[in-house]
């Protein structure tokens, strides 16, 4: 295996973050993108929500998506949400009031005239997508490093969505250097989890119930996170 020189400052920072995530439970990309998105929401809640440009962006996206709106509710973003969502409700009232007078004519408009349903994407989802693309690219570089490869093997690996994304997301630069390593590592991790699940299921049998529990007892949670992606990190 080729030793990779990490010279770029950003790559080095990502390498450290990826390595730290290998020591924690769950998919490392779910964890890192979740942390980045959470920091973005914290900054919005603490500082950005008063910024005129940010308010305009949120008006055009009609707020955050369902997931990020409720994450902010859980984070206690009372004043920021009150202000941002009042903007949106004010717009809606204005549009309804203006439309009510010409309601009948609207029935005769063609579909192409109606732009009210086109909204910009959720800004937090955009942050999450950008962060995911960056960490995916950094992971491809890091996997060729023997130290990181060993760390990755000991981790929970990637959830199924993020594994397939890491294998296919463009640009696919020099896949021959990282794709076989990533596939082998993920296969080893999946086989280990599969063995643990089998052991867990075996111990549920009344004949073996007196056997001491082992690391397989949490395999059901690991499998859930691996198949469906990690739960949103708690506030």
Q: Where in 34-53 is the site for Zn ion (CB under 5 A)?
A: none
Q: Is the CB of 21 or the CB of 219 nearer to Zn ion?
A: 21
Contact 185, 157 (CB under 8 A): yes
Three-state DSSP class for 138?
helix
Which stretch in 24-32, 47-55, 90-98, 210-218 sits in contact with Zn ion by CB under 5 A? Answer: 24-32
Reported as type and span, the H/E element at residue 19 is: helix 9-22
Cα separation, 47 vs 186, in Å, equals: 40
Binding window for Zn ion (CB under 5 A); candidates: 85-93, 115-123, 184-192, 205-213 = 115-123
Question: In sequence order, what are the residues at sequence separation of 6 or more whose Cβ sits closer than 8 angstroms to the Cβ of residue 194?
Answer: none
Q: Which residue of 4, 21, 22, 30 would you call a contact of Zn ion, by CB under 5 A?
A: 30
How many Cα atoms are found within 13 Å in the side-chain-facing hemisphere of 161? 11
Could you tell me if 211 and 7 are in contact, meaning their C-beta atoms sit under 8 angstroms apart?
A: no
Of 22, 29, 32, 189, the one binding Zn ion by CB under 5 A = 29
Is residue 226 near Zn ion by the rule CB under 5 A? no
Alpha carbons 226 and 138: distance in angstroms, whole number: 20
Phi/psi of residue 206, each to 5°? Answer: -60, -25
Of 147-155, 158-166, 172-180, 182-190, the window that binds Zn ion (rule: CB under 5 A) is 158-166
Q: Is 139 in the site for Zn ion (CB under 5 A)?
A: no
Region near Zn ion per CB under 5 A, out of 9-17, 26-34, 130-138, 207-215: 26-34
Closest CB 7 distance from Zn ion, rounded Å: 28
Contact call for residues 130 and 39 (beta carbons, < 8 A):
no
Residue 190 near Zn ion by CB under 5 A: no
Q: Is 159 in the site for Zn ion (CB under 5 A)?
A: yes
Q: Can residue 68 be called a binding residue for Zn ion (CB under 5 A)?
A: yes
Tell me which residues touch Zn ion (CB under 5 A): 27, 29-30, 65, 68, 122, 124-125, 159, 162, 229
């Amino acid at each position: 295996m080729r030793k990779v020189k990490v010279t770029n400052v950003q790559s080095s920072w990502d390498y450290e973050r990826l390595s730290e995530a290998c020591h924690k439970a769950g998919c490392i990309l779910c964890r890192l993108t979740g942390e980045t998105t959470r920091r973005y929401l914290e900054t919005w809640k603490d500082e950005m929500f008063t910024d005129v440009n940010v308010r305009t962006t949120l008006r055009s996206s009609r707020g955050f998506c369902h997931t990020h709106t409720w994450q902010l509710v859980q984070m206690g973003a009372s004043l920021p949400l009150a202000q941002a969502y009042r903007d949106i409700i004010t717009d809606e009232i204005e549009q309804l009031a203006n439309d009510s007078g010409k309601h009948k004519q609207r029935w005769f408009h063609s579909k192409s005239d109606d732009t009210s349903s086109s909204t910009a994407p959720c800004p937090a989802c955009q942050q999450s997508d950008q962060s995911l693309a960056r960490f995916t690219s950094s992971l491809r570089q890091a996997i060729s490093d023997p130290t990181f490869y060993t760390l990755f093997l000991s981790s929970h690996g990637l959830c199924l969505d993020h594994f397939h994304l890491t294998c296919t997301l463009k640009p696919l630069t020099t896949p021959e250097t990282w794709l076989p390593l990533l596939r082998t590592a993920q296969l080893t991790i999946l086989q280990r989890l599969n063995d643990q699940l089998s052991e867990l299921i075996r111990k549920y049998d009344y004949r073996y119930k007196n056997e001491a529990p082992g690391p397989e007892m949490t395999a059901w949670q690991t499998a859930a996170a691996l198949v469906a992606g990690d739960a949103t990190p708690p506030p």
